[in-house]
């Protein structure tokens, strides 16, 4: 890999992880999710980086993709299990990392299940290893704690301006004999659950979108919002709350988002739901000559 690109990837990974820890430390019972999101995203910007995607704060059976809405009043409860997922961005190079905060203190083993699965996966990754073998290590670590891996979520390739690039790294042995290759940049992302079903579904809640293409819309509000999105968020996913000041009305903003989505101009990334409590751990790595280097670390 080009040395300049590798240097930036390391910088992005470092800031991604620092921001993640900032978010972790702000998560307390009674704290507003919106405050945590805004301060975490602001931290990346203060460091001179963009956001690869909005901060995700998914609670309990929410697996991923919950980010606060415009004026969100939701606060953390004393028994919440919070998945914190974030990545910084620079020159189109993206970070991605996640951890779980257990405010209840009752799910230590479930949190450890996803964390130990991540460690096992990182230990197993090197050129020539099959994707299925890493998936098997993740599954083994989670099941050793008495829980189940989420089957239809997993790791993914990370390319320039593309957070979920083609490659899928399973959280179980799915039979994929694709081999890890040197210089691959991968986000490894185990999810563990105590639910009866280890599959997730899309919910009807959505506050994260990405620009899918340019098209025609009828309303002036939708056109105005599309101009702002095209100018500021034409590559990475964005939160609807980032657009709160454009139209000056929450109702008008969501109505315009709906019109743009119905016309295929925006792609929604809805909140994902499971059937039990879910934990997550994630790190971004680059495959090296004999193993892998964790990029999302301090």
Distance CA 209, CA 201 (A): 17
Same domain, 16 and 148: yes
Q: Which residue has the tokens 């910084």?
A: 88
Same domain, 155 and 125: yes
Which helix (H) or strand (E) segment holds residue 18: the answer is: helix 3-26
Q: What is the pLDDT of residue 230?
A: 95
Same domain, 188 and 288: yes
Same domain, 179 and 36: yes
Residues of the chain short of pLDDT 50, as ranges, are none
259 in catalytic set:
no
189 in catalytic set:
yes
Q: What is the pLDDT of residue 94?
A: 97
119 in catalytic set:
no
Q: What is the pLDDT of residue 223?
A: 95
- Set 18, 189, 221, 236: catalytic member: 189
Same domain, 150 and 287: yes
156 in catalytic set:
yes
282 in catalytic set:
yes
Same domain, 18 and 75: yes
Distance CA 185, CA 192 (A): 23
Domain assignment of residue 8, given as a range: 3-202+272-294
Q: What is the pLDDT of residue 298?
A: 67
Same domain, 130 and 251: no
Looking at the structure of the chain, the number of domains it has is: 2
Same domain, 171 and 223: no
Q: What is the pLDDT of residue 1?
A: 74
How much is the pTM?
A: 0.95
Same domain, 130 and 264: no
Same domain, 241 and 289: no
| CATH code for position 222 | 1.10.10.10
> What is the SS3 string spanning 51-105?
EEEEEEEEECCEEECCCCCCCCCCECCCCCEEEEEEEEEECCEECCEEEEEECCC
- Set 130, 159, 164, 176: catalytic member: 164
Per-residue pLDDT of 86-111, as tens digits, reads 999 999 999 999 999 999 999 999 99
Same domain, 136 and 212: no
Same domain, 168 and 235: no
267 in catalytic set:
no
Which helix (H) or strand (E) segment holds residue 43: the answer is: helix 33-46
Q: Which residue has the tokens 């991923």?
A: 64
- Set 156, 207, 221, 259: catalytic member: 156
| CATH code for position 114 | 3.90.230.10
């Amino acid at each position: 890999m080009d040395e300049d690109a590798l240097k930036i990837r390391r910088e992005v990974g470092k800031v991604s992880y620092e921001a993640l820890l900032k978010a972790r430390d702000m998560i307390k019972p009674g704290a507003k999710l919106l405050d945590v999101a805004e301060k975490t995203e602001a931290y990346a910007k203060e460091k001179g980086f963009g956001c690869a995607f909005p901060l995700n704060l998914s609670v309990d059976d929410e697996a991923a993709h919950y980010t606060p809405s415009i004026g969100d009043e939701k606060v953390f409860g004393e028994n919440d299990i919070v998945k914190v997922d974030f990545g910084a961005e620079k020159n189109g190079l993206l970070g991605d990392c996640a951890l779980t905060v257990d405010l209840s203190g009752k799910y230590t083993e479930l949190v450890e299940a996803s964390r130990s699965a991540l460690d096992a996966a990182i230990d197993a990754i090197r050129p020539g290893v099959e994707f299925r073998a890493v998936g098997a290590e993740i599954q083994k670590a989670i099941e050793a704690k008495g829980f189940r891996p989420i089957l239809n979520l997993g790791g993914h390739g990370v390319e320039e301006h593309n957070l979920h690039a083609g490659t899928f790294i399973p959280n179980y042995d799915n039979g994929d004999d694709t081999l890890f290759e040197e210089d691959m940049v991968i986000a490894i992302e185990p999810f563990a659950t105590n639910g009866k079903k280890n599959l997730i579904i899309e919910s009807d809640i959505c506050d994260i979108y990405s620009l899918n293409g340019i098209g025609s819309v009828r309303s002036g509000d939708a056109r105005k919002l599309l101009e702002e999105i095209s100018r500021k968020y034409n590559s990475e996913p964005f939160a609807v709350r980032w657009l709160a000041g454009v139209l000056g009305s929450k109702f008008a903003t969501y109505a315009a988002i709906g019109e743009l989505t119905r016309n295929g101009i925006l792609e929604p990334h809805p909140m994902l739901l499971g059937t039990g409590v879910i934990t997550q751990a994630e790190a971004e790595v680059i495959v090296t000559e004999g193993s892998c280097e964790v990029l999302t670390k301090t």
